[in-house]
A = this chain, B = another copy of it.
């Protein structure tokens, strides 16, 4: 395996009733800025639980962080945090609220001229406000990593950033908060977690068998639990297992010392930026196509995946890989996430600006840096 550094200081407080622990976890002597999204937390009781736990603390609220959180919105929160001298950020919501709050934390402390540079040019940051989260949507893993993806509405761009300063100090994961989620968000979350694992697994062998098996553990558990959530949406145990899978899918453990891909995410981000598709939807569209396009480069790992995760026996590597891709695509569909552009009313021709964007940037994607703009076009053609 390759040399690596692993460091994940986020404290996880997991289980029913754990929102009450905010009373001991959030600092008493700081103004807390509570950030949230579209307001579902006010309807499902989570907001009330949070406020009850925070008690007499000075708390400001900033709502309206949208899915694919927007730079423009977040900068309003930055202004509020600065004006009020907020000393602690508490994100209550899913990955978008969390990602947005990481950006707020970094931007408040940013000393450069324009915080957009943190995203667009990866300008280095030297600090951030401490942040924590109450997670309500298992999907992105943002609750236990330092990364964030932020969009700019005005330019339809979407960029990632991360820093050792933007790990949540703690994250509270109460599976009961997910009971009221719409089916679509649950489904997207399952696909998101699955493909996070794949981005770190479906590459090439560097003799890191433990990391591979740890990844396969998440795959198999997602495949096992996903049908159960559809059968009985209010099973605490199923929700708990899905939640923990999503966290373990992207907290840095399975990527220790191995090559990573992330081309599906890069292409998917453009589909969201251009057409407004959900993040999970874009991944479900691009990932099977990308596997098919990269079949020869990923063959050995796809065959291992087919045999160990899907239990395919007695076929050649090529047949196993092909069947594994088909079963995975069928899995995404069975969860409720369509896997073809046409199912979202998007034609291949509509995607030309994406190819053009990658061409202009000169991007080379994937674990070999071999996916150029032309290859992106070929992959998108396989998504129809």
Contacts and interface: CB of A to CB of B under 8 A. Distances in A.
Interface of A: 1-18, 170, 207-211, 213-214, 216-218, 220-221, 224-225, 237, 240-241, 244-245, 248, 253, 256-257
Specify how many copies of this chain sit in the oligomer.
Answer: 2
A195 to B, nearest CB: 17
B214 A257 contact: no
A19 to B, nearest CB: 12
B209 A241 contact: yes
Nearest to A174: B3
A241 B9 contact: no
Contact of A16 (B3, B6, B170): B3
A13 B5 contact: yes
A239 to B, nearest CB: 11
Contacts of A245: 210
Given A8-B8, A9-B9, A210 B241 contact: yes
A240 B258 CA distance: 13
A4 B15 contact: yes
Nearest to A6: B12
B5 A244 contact: no
Contacts of A170: 7
Given A15-B257, A213-B217, 20 more contacts: A1-B237, A1-B240, A1-B244, A3-B15, A3-B16, A3-B17, A3-B18, A5-B12, A5-B14, A7-B9, A7-B10, A7-B12, A8-B8, A207-B240, A207-B241, A209-B224, A209-B225, A210-B218, A210-B244, A213-B218
A115 to B, nearest CB: 28
B11 A5 contact: yes
A213 B244 CA distance: 13
A183 B25 CA distance: 47
Given A210-B248, A241-B209, A248-B210, A256 B217 contact: no
23 contacts: A1-B15, A1-B240, A1-B244, A4-B15, A5-B11, A5-B12, A7-B11, A7-B170, A12-B256, A14-B257, A208-B244, A209-B241, A210-B218, A210-B221, A210-B244, A210-B248, A211-B244, A213-B216, A213-B217, A214-B214, A217-B217, A244-B257, A248-B253
